[in-house]
Structure 1
């Protein structure tokens, strides 16, 4: 206890240099923990984008390209799947549900997805969570659209507003479908996935836009007066203008009655004779994607580790530089009865205190940084960061940093030990 008080007062007496060491350690710890938390939760967010889907089927291309285009709306699919092939595959034994997807249009930079009402029933994210509406309902007519939460918030759209979509992905539009305005009838709750940045329209609406068949059929008069519970009952019974057969779709999702069907159907699809198709398992392909990005993860971790090493070397330099100025202080301690091992313990305790305070400050700064960047990571990266307690691995990192700081401080402690001997400070009896 006496050594602890003495070490604390000694550090306070040299607060300028000590504060510099604490800040450099804190910054390195902040970077290391923040990068680790974002890395782990980025994986979790990507994995949570689609769950409960056994296979994703599309035209033959790369596994990762198909996953990114169909689920994450990143990139393009150059070829599609014919409607006949889609109908043939989903009629096979074991298929429980399917969701057709048609991409290729956009609205102010946001992807437009053509699908069926089964999308709102069967699409799952996170831990098999289903989609829910914050306002309105699912589409029931070919001129209706359901918005993701982020689109509604950023563009300020509300129910019954009319919008026009354009052909072309992202911010590149080749043709506005002005003859087919769509009415907003629903806004989904936030999911933290690309669903939030997607406009959902009936599959047949995409076909009508691209075949220039004129305006989509207007709402039937007998539907306009339905309110409350009647709307809920009707939401599972699409009107006749949703019934139609497109020529092709971009891809489709499949769920089976049993996982045992997955590998068998996947093999059959990959050898499908009618047209070149491929089926991927989302979980397996995600692992392949992260395997490709492993080098980026390692570089980020290496960068943080280098910053940490530099900060610890800075602390070592500061302690060694101060040591020559403290020989008089150490001599006084020896003169009042301190043994060489007391001097060694004092110096090593000082380095330990600097490491503990710097690490604690770094943890606090990491949480502060995550809190301030949380909305940006969610909006632009689709990464949902939770401010939970430190994981076992993160606690191990923290303990390792403190231990490294203490070990670095042993060098000046050893030198101080020998200084006390060489200076002839031994107590004579």
Structure 2
């Protein structure tokens, strides 16, 4: 068997130009397939862990996916607000360890403004990380301090010290600006690869302050508000959009969820982020499958190139086969030789694809993390990837059966012709 492999290797070296092109084609297709698989797996994990450490999300009565969309991904609008008194009662429940309120409704140049507390930066997380890191600056402290996400800073060219004006509503083109109370950027968050990157974060008190002279979504006077003269009691929030909740023990999750869902003073919904994220991801499964089908088609095309290459050289190699027969090789040896060549070609293409992938991740991994928040690092193929690679290798060998059978039949025919 080892002699047959060595003979196949020597035969491939004699056709190195064609072989290299075939191996490169298969390697690139394997790189595409494994790259999509890695990105898909990382994106799914990051998506499902985009609110790491949060046990419950509480908001007004709504479908769990709807609550998840507007509270975590800032998509859509809430059906109603959560009253501040209710939030205080939720916060006081014995199993509750911490809460982070958020208030939505304003924007800055198309980016959603999130009113919250300083706890947001300590409690919110993503992936396996707990808490948010600052690329520069610090959390907000003064009334008109603002913290921005990485996408906001990079797209708009903002940095610490930049003065910004918030707008009422979420339209990209502002029609009602809070230009009487500008904010100063005091911090820029490190990239997370989540909706946090596209947020502008201010205090809940700041949200109240900019709406003091507003009623029903419209300003009620032209007089500017003197922020320094605003009594602190007037900045107490009356309602919030939602609250992120962390519990002392996860065993109390369903107990607190039931208490919230059955709360009679106002209709509320408490959701488990992981469950709602899984439901949302299932809705987007078509895109994931389409990417895998496209990558699989590329691998299949590369295997067909391998088959065509072996078949195209059979006529040119009839003399080689005749010489093998002359030195005592039988039709079975010829069959095995072609099958070994298919196995070697496929194996070399797989190895090249894995090497290209790991090299690309080693070179581009830090850039992908910094630019897109995609955390991909080089490493050995996972069990799933190993199974995929094994399937491709088996497919290459199976395709090699056809040219091997053709060579076998021709070898028999040529042998009969020689005997005559």
TM-score by length of 1: 0.85
Taking structure 1 as reference, are residues 138 and 307 closer, same or farther at Cα in structure 2, changes over 3 Å only?
Answer: closer
- Partner of residue 122, structure 1: 123
Q: How does 1:155-234 map to 2 (within 5 A)?
A: 155-169=156-170, 171-212=172-213, 214-215=224-225, 217-218=227-228
Q: CA deviation at 1:126?
A: 2.6
In 2, Cα distance between equivalents of 1:289 and 1:367:
31
Q: SS of 1:254's equivalent?
A: strand
- The CA deviation at 1:118 is 2.1
Partner residue, 1:140: 141
Gaps of 5+ in 1: 220-238
Q: 1:384 to 1:356 in 2, by over 3 A?
A: same
For 2:211 and 2:376, the matched residues in 1 are separated by 40
3-state SS in 2 of match to 1:175: coil
Q: Is the 8 A contact 1:202 1:242 kept in 2?
A: no
Question: 1:345: how far off?
Answer: 2.3
Deviation track 1:119-162 (CA, whole Å, cap 9, x = no partner) reads: 23322333252223343332222111122234334433333332
Cα distance between partner residues in 2 of 1:176 and 1:375: 36
Alignment partners' CA distance in 1, 2:134 and 2:339: 60
Between stretches 75-84 and 254-263, larger displacement belongs to 75-84
Partners of 1:335 and 1:425 within 8 A in 2: no
- Equivalent pair of 1:41/1:385 in contact (CA under 8 Å): yes
**Deviation (angstroms), 1:368:** 5.9
Q: Answer with 23-32 or 13-22: which moved more.
A: 13-22
Mean alpha-carbon deviation: is it higher for 24-33 or for 42-51?
A: 24-33
3-state secondary structure, aligned to 2:188: strand
Is the contact between residue 97 and residue 248 of structure 2 (CA under 8 Å) also seen in structure 1? Answer: yes
Q: Alpha-carbon deviation of 1:218?
A: 4.5
Mark the runs of 5 or more structure 2 residues left unpaired by the alignment: 215-223
Distance in 1 of aligned mates of 2:149 and 2:155: 10
CA distance in 1, matches of 2:146, 2:272: 29
Matched length: 408
Greater displacement, 371-380 / 40-49 = 371-380
Structure 2 distance, partners of 1:374, 1:29, is: 22
Structure 2 distance, partners of 1:129, 1:45, is 13
Distance in 1 (CA, whole Å) between partners of 2:79 and 2:170 is 12
Give the aligned partner of residue 318 of structure 1: 309
C-alpha distance in structure 1 between counterparts of 2:365 and 2:137, whole Å: 31
TM-aligned CA distance change 1:170 to 1:419, over 3 Å: farther
Establish whether residue 363 from structure 1 lines up as the match of residue 363 from structure 2: no
User: Could you say what secondary structure the match of 1:409 adopts?
Assistant: helix
Would the alpha carbon gap of residues 133 and 241 (structure 1) be closer, same or farther in structure 2, given more than 3 Å must change? Answer: farther
Which residue matches 1:36? Answer: 37
Secondary structure class of the residue paired with 2:392: helix
In structure 2, how many angstroms separate the alpha carbons of the residues matched to 1:254 and 1:407? Answer: 55
Alpha-carbon offset, residue 375 of structure 1: 4.9
Distance 1:74 1:142, change over 3 A: same
* Counterparts in 2 of 1:95 and 1:206: CA distance versus 1, 3 Å: same
- Structure 2 residue 261 is matched with structure 1 residue 260: no
What is the Cα deviation at residue 216 of structure 1? 6.1
Checking the alignment, whether the CA contact within 8 Å between 2:65 and 2:276 is kept in structure 1 is yes
2:291 is paired with a residue of what secondary structure? helix
2:270 corresponds to which residue?
A: 279
Superposed CA offset, 1:272-311 (max 9, x none): 2222221111111112122223333233223322332232
Which string of whole-angstrom CA distances, capped at 9 and with x for unpartnered residues, describes residues 375-419 of structure 1? 568756x54333333212112212221222122112212322232
Is 2:336 aligned against 1:345? yes
Contact 1:334–1:427 (CA under 8 A) maintained in structure 2 = no
> Residues 378-393 of structure 1: matches in 2 within 5 Å?
379=371, 383-393=374-384
Q: CA shift at 1:421, angstroms? A: 2.1
For the Cα contact (< 8 Å) 2:365–2:375, is it kept in 1? Answer: no
Distance across 1 between alignment mates of 2:133 and 2:305: 53
Q: Structure 1: how far apart are the matches of 2:273 and 2:120? A: 17
Q: Secondary structure of 2:313's partner?
A: helix
Question: For the structure 1 residues 19 and 133, does the alpha-carbon distance in structure 2 shift closer, same or farther, using more than 3 Å as the test?
Answer: closer
Please tell me whether the aligned partners of residues 33 and 296 of structure 2 are also in contact (alpha carbons under 8 angstroms). yes
| Aligned-partner SS, 1:106 | strand
Mark the CA change 1:216 to 1:118 in structure 2 (over 3 Å): closer, same or farther. Answer: farther
The alpha carbon displacement at 1:41 in A equals 0.2
Deviations 1:155-181 (A, max 9, x none): 333333321112233624332211110
CA displacement at 1:347 relative to structure 2: 1.1
Q: Give per-residue Cα distances to partners, 1:196-249, cap 9 Å, x unaligned.
A: 322210111112222327446349xxxxxxxxxxxxxxxxxxx98598322221
Q: Is the 8 A contact 2:365 2:377 kept in 1?
A: no
1:403 corresponds in structure 2 to 394
1:336 corresponds to: 327
C-alpha contact 1:205 1:216 (8 A) present in aligned 2: no
Offset, 1:20? 4.3
Once residues 285 and 13 of structure 2 are traced to their aligned partners in structure 1, the CA distance between those partners, rounded to angstroms, is 44
Picking from 284, 287, 297, the partner of 2:288 is: 297
Q: What is the CA-CA distance between 1:69 and the residue it aligns to?
A: 1.6
Match of 2:74 in 1: 73
